[in-house]
Amino acid sequence: MTNPCRTAPDATPLGHDARMQYPTAPGLAARLKAETRSLHTLAERAGVMADLMHGRLSLARYCTLLRNLQAIYAALESGLDATHADARLWRPELRRLPALEQDLDELHGGDWRADTPLAHATRAYVERLAALAAHDPDLLLAHAYLRYLGDLHGGQVLARLIQRQYGLTAHGGTAFYAFGDAAEVEALKHDFRAGLDALALAPPQADAFVAEACEAFRWHQRMFEELQG
């Protein structure tokens, strides 16, 4: 099997008609995990994320990171609302934008929309998400894969780290990472992976989906590196 993450080909439109004509793509969730693993590692060790994990990120710079994530979630979730409102992979429990904005309100202490600039990489990524929403909305799910499964897997660890690093208590300033108790988190992860595997994609469409997920990790790496600079 070719690895679509080696290049970034033009996306093959998935289309709702195509999803009805082809059988379920076996193991799409496992394929995504395997073929994005190295890019995932690079992104989570890049720039401000490395600083955060090693306790080197000031609260002001953490708020800058959250502000850039807020712009990404605003574009992603508005696109999902417009195109996947009834889809298995877009559930109300996954929505992060209100919690993210709540954390910024608590931690920033000012007008974070006006005070905190967006990285050039963030602006370009937001434009990419808007273009997908307009012209190839099914590929938004590749970006949802990165964000929501990543949040579900790493959220509890990050919440504890951030509480300790910035002297926060309970869920104050960490609502972004709160999906419920452990059983609810596991159920959401299971259902999201099952939803990916239930997408009926032809091989070129599955390749395009994986390639888009790879690009999503590259966008995040560029953003994390720019924010560190």
Residue-by-residue pLDDT tens, the chain, 229 positions: 455 565 444 444 444 433 434 444 358 999 999 999 999 999 989 999 999 999 899 999 999 999 999 999 999 999 999 988 767 789 899 999 999 999 999 999 889 999 888 999 999 999 999 999 999 988 999 999 999 999 998 887 888 899 999 998 766 899 999 998 899 999 999 999 999 999 888 899 999 999 999 999 999 999 999 998 7
**What pLDDT score does 145 carry?**
95
Separation of alpha carbons 112 and 78, rounded Å: 20
Separation of alpha carbons 93 and 100, rounded Å: 14
Separation of alpha carbons 178 and 151, rounded Å: 9
**What pLDDT score does 212 carry?**
96
Assigned domain for 156 exists: yes
Structural domain including 55 reads 20-228
Assigned domain for 6 exists: no
- Helical H runs in 36-166? 37-44, 47-53, 59-83, 97-108, 112-115, 120-135, 140-144, 150-166
> What is the residue type of 101?
E
CATH of the domain at 76: 1.20.910.10
Assigned domain for 45 exists: yes
Assigned domain for 3 exists: no
**What pLDDT score does 4 carry?**
58
Assigned domain for 9 exists: no
The number of residues in the chain equals 229
Q: Smallest Cα–Cα separation from 179: which of 169, 187, 170?
A: 187
Assigned domain for 13 exists: no
Assigned domain for 4 exists: no
Separation of alpha carbons 51 and 43, rounded Å: 12
Assigned domain for 30 exists: yes
Residue 93 DSSP label: G
**What pLDDT score does 156 carry?**
79
**What pLDDT score does 86 carry?**
66
Alpha-carbon 224 to chain mean position: 13
- In the structure encoding, which two tokens stand for residue 141, read together? 């799910």
Tally of domains within the chain:
1
